[in-house]
Amino acid sequence: MQSYTATVNGDYAVEITFGSCVNTSARENITGVGIKEITNNIVSIYPNPSTGLFRVNFGNNNSTINYSIISVEGKVVKYEKTNANTTIIDLSNESKGIYFVKITDENNIFIKKLVLE
């Protein structure tokens, strides 16, 4: 059995040659290849660590952003949508520990760590 892993977005087809016979499959469009790495100047969370209030700067936001706060146990403690470039997250009623902010927009998913002291 043969396999192929696409390394760039594009249209792909399989061509099989046996002797003088050639058969080509239908083309498949492959998108989403690779992982976009977030740079520190796109999304920032501060102060981090904090005692409960965090400010999240989404950069130059031109679309709806969904964000959720997830505990290390995997429990979603907060979920919201925003079109703003900045929001304040209040975790003062949550237990101290490590949380993750999962931020999604039309094209990307970012995860940042929060420390609640």
Residue 38 within any structural domain of the chain:
no
d(C-alpha 73, C-alpha 111), whole Å: 15
Residue 66 within any structural domain of the chain:
yes
- Beta pairing class for 44-46 and 76-82: unpaired
- State the pTM of this model: 0.63
Give the model's pLDDT for residue 27. 85
**Cβ atoms of residues 101 and 89 within 8 Å:** yes
Tally of domains in the chain: 1
Residue 1 within any structural domain of the chain:
no
pLDDT tens-digit profile, the chain (117 residues) = 666 777 777 788 888 888 999 898 888 877 766 555 444 447 889 999 999 999 999 877 778 899 999 998 889 999 999 998 899 999 999 999 999 999 888 777 888 899 999
Q: Hey, what are 69's tokens? A: 């706060």
CATH number at residue 103: 2.60.40.3080
Give the model's pLDDT for residue 32. 63
Q: Which residues constitute the domain of residue 49? A: 44-116
Residue of 65, 16, 57 whose CA lies nearest to 40: 57
